[in-house]
Amino acid sequence: MGCPPPVQYDFPVPTAQQFICKKCRSLVTIESFRHTSDGIPYCRCPNCGAKNAVVETGLTPSQPGIIPVTRLLD
Ligand SMILES: [Zn+2]
């Protein structure tokens, strides 16, 4: 089995990216994103509360940009 990978979900990751909410179409600045228990990175929209699954870019806060939303989680 080897060593399991480190747990990467359920804690905020600092970032300066933005996304467009798939539900309400707001442009949201991401202060942090989280991972589901399945390891899917997502951001919660502050306007409508939708959980937007996003592409994890690995960009740092000094590399702002708009990241794609893949789908809504709930
Ligand atoms: Zn929204």
Which whole number is the average pLDDT over 6-21?
Answer: 70
Kindly list the protein residues that place their beta carbon closer than 5 angstroms to ligand 1, a single-atom ion. 21, 23-24, 45, 47-48, 50
In-domain check, residue 35 = yes
In-domain check, residue 56 = yes
Counting the structural domains of the chain, the total is 1
Contact call for residues 38 and 53 (beta carbons, < 8 A): no
Q: What is the pLDDT of residues 35-54, one digit of tens each?
A: 899 989 999 999 999 999 99
User: What is the 59 CA–ligand 1 centroid distance (Å)?
Assistant: 22
Q: For residue 15, name the pLDDT band (cuts at 50, 70, 90).
A: low
In-domain check, residue 1 = no
In-domain check, residue 8 = no
In-domain check, residue 33 = yes
Tell me which residue range forms the domain holding 18. Answer: 13-72
User: What is the 2 CA–ligand 1 centroid distance (Å)?
Assistant: 41
Q: For residue 71, name the pLDDT band (cuts at 50, 70, 90).
A: very high
CA–CA distance, 4 with 54 (Å, rounded to integer): 24
Q: Is the pTM of this model over 0.75?
A: no
In angstroms, the Cα distances linking 31 to 4, 6, 7, 35, 64 are 29, 23, 21, 14, 11
